[in-house]
């Protein structure tokens, strides 16, 4: 399965925004029950999202439908799951986890609810936001050996982490991420690959800065991220383009694969005066797999 490039957040209590989901162009939409919904609207959002899912059976969806539930410490997670699992969401975004054990607990809840609603075991995936509490970054490496079969990827967040540690900003003087957030971003990238799942980069906050979004997303793809969260529909096109191989990427990948196939007994080949070895072959095959996807 091709990694999802774009995850677009949509407030679960906005009928107007929910009505635009089907044509948004994102690979996945995250119907949000958490931060974008005021406490007084949680129940209404839960009902709207449950009805929205039931009106769109999985086999007829034009976009994957995920739900960001409320975190365990809110006391609302069980209510969220009880309402939405009957609608067979493609996945759950789990916020504010402390580590893999929280994902395991959520998975156990889903085991029970899938059985109750006649869904295939494990059909609902989980994408945790893996850096939003002070302890969570220290446990990122544990995902590699946690055996979480529902794990669909790892993503990270800066806003809740900065609030949790009492920081007044998560940016440096140059406008880039401050060191702490650069560190947890890098650790999330490594942890995802160690666990064998996609690494999903966090939001690019300024939705009016399309050029900046595209540049940052291309850089993220070059680092090893597979996709990005989106906060506004205007960001979807730029994210999809940045995390898709270009025609030049595909053409060069084909040259690399062809060169190795023509010389199967060697571990290093020369192309245009540069030397390429087996890791480059692996990267080329990954590029072609993405293009086929």
Annotated binding site for Mg(2+): 132, 160
Residue 168 neighbours by CB distance under 10 Å: 5
What lies within 8 Å, CB to CB, of 260 at 6+ separation is 266, 269, 281
Name the binding residues: 68, 132, 160
**Alpha carbon 118 to chain centroid, angstroms:** 27
Q: Can you tell me the distance from the alpha carbon of 153 to that of 186, in angstroms, rounded to the nearest whole number?
A: 14
Q: Which residue's entry shows tokens 């119907």?
A: 31
- 31, 12 contact by CB (below 8 A): yes
Name the binding residues for substrate: 68, 132
**Backbone dihedral region for residue 25 (phi beyond 0: left; psi -120 to 50: alpha; all else: beta):** left
Residue 127 neighbours by CB distance under 10 Å: 26
Residue 65 neighbours by CB distance under 10 Å: 24
> Counting runs of H as helices and runs of E as strands, what totals does the chain give?
10, 10
Q: Can you tell me the distance from the alpha carbon of 210 to that of 252, in angstroms, rounded to the nearest whole number?
A: 27
């Amino acid at each position: 399965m091709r990694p999802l490039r774009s995850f677009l957040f949509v407030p679960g209590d906005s009928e107007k925004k929910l009505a635009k989901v089907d044509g948004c162009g994102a690979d996945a939409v995250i119907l949000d029950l958490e931060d974008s919904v005021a406490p007084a609207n949680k129940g209404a959002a839960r009902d709207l999202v449950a009805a929205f899912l039931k009106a769109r059976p999985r086999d007829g969806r034009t976009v994957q439908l995920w739900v960001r539930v409320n975190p365990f410490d809110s006391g609302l997670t069980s209510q969220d799951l009880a309402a939405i699992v009957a609608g067979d969401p493609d996945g759950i975004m789990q916020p504010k986890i402390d580590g893999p054990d929280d994902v395991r607990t959520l998975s156990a809840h889903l085991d029970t609810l899938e059985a109750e609603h006649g869904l295939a075991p494990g059909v609902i995936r989980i994408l945790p936001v893996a850096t939003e509490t002070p302890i969570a970054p220290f446990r990122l490496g544990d995902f590699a050996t946690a055996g979480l079969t529902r794990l669909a990827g790892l993503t990270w967040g800066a806003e809740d982490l900065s609030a949790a540690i009492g920081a007044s900003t998560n940016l440096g003087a140059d406008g880039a991420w401050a060191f702490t957030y650069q560190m947890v971003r890098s650790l999330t990238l490594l942890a995802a690959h160690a666990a064998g799942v996609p690494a999903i980069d966090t939001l690019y906050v300024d939705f009016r800065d399309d050029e900046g979004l595209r540049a940052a997303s291309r850089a993220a793809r070059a680092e090893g991220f597979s996709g990005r969260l989106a906060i506004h529909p205007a960001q979807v096109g730029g994210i999809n383009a940045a995390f898709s191989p270009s025609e030049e990427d595909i053409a060069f990948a084909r040259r690399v694969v062809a060169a190795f196939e023509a010389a199967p007994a060697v571990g290093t080949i020369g192309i245009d005066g540069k030397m390429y070895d087996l890791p480059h072959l692996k990267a080329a095959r990954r590029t072609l797999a993405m293009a086929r996807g």
